[in-house]
Structure 1
Amino acid sequence: MSSPAAVPNDRIRERAERFASGPVPLAALSMAFEESRASSAEVLVEGRSFYPPMLEDIAAASSSVHINQFGFRPGVVGERFAEVLVAKAAEGIPVRLVVDRQGSDPERGSQQLYERLTAAGIEVCVVRATVARVQVGPLGADGATRWNLRALGHIDHRKVAVIDGRIGWVGGAGIEDHFEDGRFHDLFVRVTGPVVRQLQLVFVGGFRWLGGRVQVDDLETLFPETGDEGEAIPAVVLHNAPGRYRPISDAIARMLESAGETLDVVNPYVTDRGMIRRVEQAARRGVRVRLFVPANANNWACAAAQQFHHATLLDAGARILEYPTMLHAKAFVRDGEELLAGTCNLEAWSLRRFFEIDLRLHSTTVAAQFEQRFSAPAEAVSSPGRPLTGRRERARARVFATLSPLL
């Protein structure tokens, strides 16, 4: 399938009107975007750095709060978000959430949290990728049921917040305690400016696909004119939805293939053979490659599959840096001028099947900020990756590398 025609930046509102005016089919969620710009962009590392300003942005919202989150669960962090979201809803600010059934468990283990949110008037829509028939509409509503066969297996792995249509957050962390207490190492990118309209359109499309309520009259405040204030950082939103059009996967491949001097790859699950081959080829043509991975990944099958390729990558000249805790960030930096960050992992499910969202920025300033705040500190505490040597561990890794298209 060829890529869909890019939604022109001056037609985003028009596309949103189509979404608001009637049912939205799953196929409509595959969207390409023209390059836009960000007026500001900031990389924030660790929950203790990104949760407070994110909560401040939500608390200051004057027209809307939209959150699309794979993992929003009860806990210390979840309680902080619940408090501020309930407070905004009490002010009459529309608060809309999209969460994933597997990641957030809103109807079982997290039910009490979500009953509190919906009782406050917050509309919560749930992606149920493991259920054949689903109820349409917000959680707790008596909506009709429909077959869900085309969406089966397509987990919603996105982590996005859009506040007032003016501020966007894209990153790899859930609203969960382990992203703040040091167990998981992750990041978010905060942006302002016209590119936020692209994030907003992705949210509105997904929310309406799930039966959430957005009226045409709501769009004026959801898509405000942002003006030309601040910087003009070339930026674009990349969104993988079910289907053959996977712009994030294509963008990652292009970055790996086009790197000429430096390449940083930050990812917890590196198992896709095609992507690993591109990293190897970059190193062999003289690119300084740093591959940041967790020393002890929480998915042991993916870790074994990845380690199978360590010898080849090291022989090619790549440096493998194993972060001491669960490195969960997903980012790529090419030649000190291009940053791609968001939710997509280098394994089959993320690259080909899940809902994923990334933000691409062309800026030496933002790339330098990433180096200062993420790469350099991570390198300072990481251990060098090693090739597998034992016969048993090599055999085990070979098995999981063979199975990597299923991992």
Structure 2
Amino acid sequence: MKKLRGLLRIIFGRTTFLVLFLLIQFGVLMAGFNWLREYMIYVYGGSSLLSAVVLIYIISNDENSSIKLSWVVPILIIPVFGTLFYLFLKLQPGVKLINRRIQYLAKEVEPFLIQDPEVMEDYKSISSSEGNLARYMNRYGKFPVYKNTSVEYFPLGDDMYPKMLEELKKAEKFIFMEYFIVERGLMWNSILEVLEQKAKEGVEVRFMYDGMCSLALLPYSYPKTLRARGIKCKMFSPVKPALSSYQNNRDHRKICVIDGHTGFTGGVNLADEYINKKERFGHWKDTAVMLKGDAVASFTMMFLQLWGVTEMEKEDYGRFLVPKDYRLPEGADSTGFVMPYADSPLDGENVGEQVYLDILGHAKRYVHIMTPYLILDDVTLTALKYAAKRGVETIIIMPHIPDKLYAYLLARTYYEELLRAGVKIYEYTPGFIHAKMFISDDEKAVVGTINLDYRSLYLHFECAAYLYKNTTVLTVEEDFQATLGMCQPVTVEECRRYSPLKRFAGKALRLFAPLM
């Protein structure tokens, strides 16, 4: 009976109807294509001309070459349908309107993200080349570099979870939370209990999660449930039964801000596998950081910018800044610099990728990387190989037990090429790596939400914290070395022994890599 109820839930569930409606729309497009084929004699010339114009536009467009290729191939193979489908997705006004709204909000928060000139001078005095990165982030990302910020690193979600609960219980004015995945269980239920209690105490609680959760993890009406408990809640980009390129731009960020002075980010979502209370793919290795002090202002403004996309009332941003009388906890280490930053898929500036490329380009001794996915464009692939070829120890830790088979097969297609260039690749044998980290030369580290794949670098809203000359960098590197001790190396010989069928499947998937 229980299995029958589960089957009926799947058959009549919202996800099934969503997929059905999407298939119907795709079918209508195919029917239109077949109709055009019947009149191909009359429309052949026009369609060929249109395809040529579209191809010229794609090739000359300021976009990643791999993404261009993913459109050029179908347009050349099935010109009419490929061209119409491209135009259908690219000419939707919704994406342009949302981007316009986000850009407007970016202008609104800009006065609250002004670079302190003294901090910048200190930053540049240590390293002129690092000053170049900061200037780029100031100009194109609008994110300042901060001092007066302490950083605590968590090598597992298991470690972050109790600390987050502790800090949430201390909230006096407001709590902002923004997450990609939320699933009911021990972790989320205990956090929700605190949020509900804080709302009763008069603390302003805002909670936002990505609309993909509504497909399988949460009811579509879940925001109403939380609002009834005093929590301001919304889904970012609810999934709707309509073919739209905007629905590909998910909110992959993980942000928690408390009273303007304490913030969390990293790879940890709000579900039990992230704290190893539920086993899905062996041991779940994830990481996070807690910031206290001036740098939290950037995370506050990141949250308010996306929150405001669907809000009509003007926000009083100033009341959410770090309190002027706030002092770091006694004994807190605030050495070095911290630069929180976000990346938007709609602004044409690939901030997340540029930070990674900057680290690879300036590394002198080593670059150590943890990532769950390895789906690379030519630029990042070349940067990784070049770092190794010029003598920089370049190590990537990947999962041994993947969560997505297609992503793992695709990642393995890059292994042999990277290994031949001198990049070292290890797999985490206890289970799944979900951490997204770069560490270099005992000087700099990035901990955040940005994977080494197209979706993170080009399609999702993301965020991270960049640490420079901060003592926490050494803690992050110590964890990397400890994790390396639980990994097995991948060799060129092992790559060549890998199943020919799986190797072929991975190479075939490379055609669709920009969509993964």
Following superposition of structure 1 onto structure 2, how do residues 235-254 of structure 1 map, counting pairs within 5 Å?
Answer: 235-241=338-344, 242-254=346-358
Q: TM-score, normalised by structure 1?
A: 0.84
In 2, distance between residues paired with 1:358 and 1:214? 27
Deviates more, 1:253-262 or 1:74-83: 253-262
The corresponding residue for 1:189 is: 289
Q: Which moved more, 1:384-393 or 1:233-242?
A: 384-393
- The 2-side partners of 1:108 and 1:316 are apart by 42
Q: 2:475 maps to what in 1?
A: 369
The alignment status of 1:360 with 2:466, answered yes or no, reads: yes
Q: How does 1:5-404 map to 2 (within 5 A)?
A: 11-12=111-112, 31-102=141-212, 104-105=213-214, 109-110=218-219, 114-128=223-237, 130-131=239-240, 151-181=246-276, 183-211=283-311, 215-216=315-316, 219-225=318-324, 229=328, 231-241=334-344, 242-273=346-377, 274-324=379-429, 325-363=431-469, 365-372=471-478, 374-387=479-492, 388-389=495-496, 390-404=499-513
Distance 2:487 2:186 in 1: 28
Q: From the two aligned structures, give the one with the greater strand fraction.
A: 1
**Who wins on radius of gyration, i.e. which is larger?**
2
How far has the Cα of 1:37 moved from its partner? 2.5
Deviation at 1:31, TM superposition (A): 4.5
Amino acid at match of 1:235: V
Cα deviation 1:159-202 (Å, max 9, x = unaligned): 01000000011111110000111642111111111111111111
Cα 1:383/1:177, change in 2 over 3 Å: same
Question: Quick check: 1:263–1:287 contact (8 Å CA) kept in 2?
Answer: yes
Conserved in 2, the CA contact under 8 Å of 1:165 and 1:222? yes
**1:321-362 deviations in whole A, cap 9, x for unaligned?**
101211001010111111111111111111011100011010
CA contact (8 A) 1:7 1:34 kept: no
Unaligned stretches of 5+ in structure 1? 15-29, 134-147
Give, in angstroms, the shift of residue 402 of structure 1: 3.5
Other structure's SS at 2:372 match: coil
Q: Is the 8 A contact 1:336 1:364 kept in 2?
A: no
How far is 1:47 from its partner? 2.1
Alignment-mate amino acid for residue 399 of structure 1 = A
Q: Which has the higher contact order (CA 8 A, sep 6+)?
A: 1
- CA root-mean-square deviation: 2.8
Partners of 1:355 and 1:9 lie apart in 2 by: 17
Q: Once the two structures are superposed, what CA deviation does each residue of 1:254-288 show, in whole Å capped at 9, x if it has no partner?
A: 11222111001110011113323211211111111
Q: Give the TM-score of the pair, scaled to structure 2.
A: 0.67
Alpha-carbon distance in structure 2 between the residues aligned to 1:212 and 1:122? 19
Give, as a single letter, the amino acid of the residue that structure 1 aligns with 2:171. Answer: A
Give 1:138's aligned residue: none
CA positional deviation for 1:215: 4.2
Letter in 2 for 1:311: E
Q: What is the CA-CA distance between 1:243 and the residue it aligns to?
A: 2.4
8 Å contact from structure 1 (residues 171, 343) kept in 2: yes
Gaps of 5+ in 2: 1-61, 63-102, 115-139
Give the structure with the higher percent helix: 2
Distance change >3 Å, CA 10–CA 68, structure 1 → 2: closer
How many positions carry a matched residue from both structures? 373
Report the Cα offset of residue 114 of structure 1: 4.5
Distance of 1:209 and 1:8 partners within structure 2: 12
Assess if the C-alpha contact under 8 Å between 1:338 and 1:362 holds in 2: yes
Identity of aligned residues (%): 23
